[in-house]
Structure 1
Amino acid sequence: MTHIALYRKYRPSGFEHLVGQEHIKKTLLNAINGDSISHAYVFSGPRGTGKTSSAKLFAKAVSCQKTSHGEPCGTCDICSDSNPDIIEIDAASNNGVEEIRELRDKIGYTPVYGKYKVYIIDEVHMRATRYSITSAC
């Protein structure tokens, strides 16, 4: 039996499964359906409120070529968890200067599959805290 973390098992697969975030859902779907995707989005809020789930859904939806009313199809190669155009970085553990340089260098490449290349930088507040403490010394 394969062990799957609960947050992965129950992560929403579409915006219709995103619970308690109606205003976020509406804003993101309007951006997708209106083809007015901004260059950056910041998801903030208390732990466990769906920030990463919303970001991952949005990344899939803007990249999916078979989207239906803004919802990702969930079956195409672009919607798979191995899409090279959706890069998730844990800022809490990747907090060195070398990681930032590597990220900066990769940003210049065009997307492989979809229309967009999406970077999800999770736990970015950990990075900001570290640098504000370091720069204050």
Structure 2
Amino acid sequence: MTIIDGLFTGLVIGFITSIPAVISEIVRHGKNLPLLIDVKEIGTHHLKEKYVLEWSLFLHLGLSAVFGGFYPALVSLGAFATYSFFSVALYGLIFYLFFGLFIFPAIGLGLFGRREGHLVWLELLLTSVLYVAGFWYAATFLFIS
């Protein structure tokens, strides 16, 4: 699996996991978006309700691409030896902790996204689990045969 394959795989997983949020937005406009971190603020700017889905999708797809692209890069550098489920799951845990502890606070969402909501940590965890399962499946059955 190349880095481009990983980026593409991450984006596909991101699109698939964003479907419930898009359906929810159509049916229950303005309510909590399942599996997406609801981005209601960017820095000190409060977003209008009509832009929450777009920014949430942007963040979600960005996280998906980063998740997918970094793993093949780390394999090529020797940080992970294989595409085994354990290796991808360990990467998923590191990804979850890194984004929750460093990236989210750096972009103003607070530790594990607490500024955006009290269940953001759970949304990030569930999304990471889905990334791991989808990425491992794609790597094992679609790219490495």
TM-score exceeds 0.5: no
TM-score, L = length of structure 1: 0.33
**Larger helix percent:** 2
TM-score, normalised to structure 2, is 0.32
More strand by share: 1
